[in-house]
Amino acid sequence: QSALTHPASVSGSPGQSITISCTGTSSDVGTYTLVSWFQQHPGNAPKLIIYEDKKRPSGISNRFSGSMSGNTASLTISGLQAGDEAVYYCCSYAGNSTWVFGGGTRLTVL
């Protein structure tokens, strides 16, 4: 199972919007509407922020949104804040009770 593809890093200024892409294949992202996004701050465990491509768990800001097109999922963060600086991972269900992660994208808030 190959890892999903992320850009290594993105950056934006406070108040701006950024989008992080996550590209998979027709065996995972393209088949299942089951992409999740996790936020990981240094020294902390990952935290679920998006599931089923675009749904937010309770307590997650609506500044975080997810979308899907073909084999590519995207995470958009609007109204960037300093606290959004973290590494973001996508994760897709890949069938047969398996999952696959992306390599992670480091978000820098300038």
Partner 1 sequence: QLVQSGAEVKKPGASVKVSCKPSGDTFSTYGITWVRQAPGQGLEWLGWISPYDGNTTYAQRLQGRVTMTTDTSTSTAYMELRRLRSDDTALYYCACVDVSIYTFIQWGQGTLVTVSS
Residues interacting with partner 1, by CB under 8 A?
1, 3, 32, 34, 36, 38, 40, 45-48, 51-52, 55, 57, 87, 89, 91, 93, 96-104
Strands (E) across 1-110 are located at 9-12, 18-23, 35-40, 47-50, 64-69, 72-77, 86-93, 99-101, 105-109
Of 13 and 58, CB closest to partner 1 = 58
Q: Least distance from C-beta 11 to partner 1, angstroms? A: 19
Is the Cβ of residue 45 or residue 82 nearer to partner 1 in the bound state? 45
Closest CA to 29 of 8, 52, 60, 55: 52
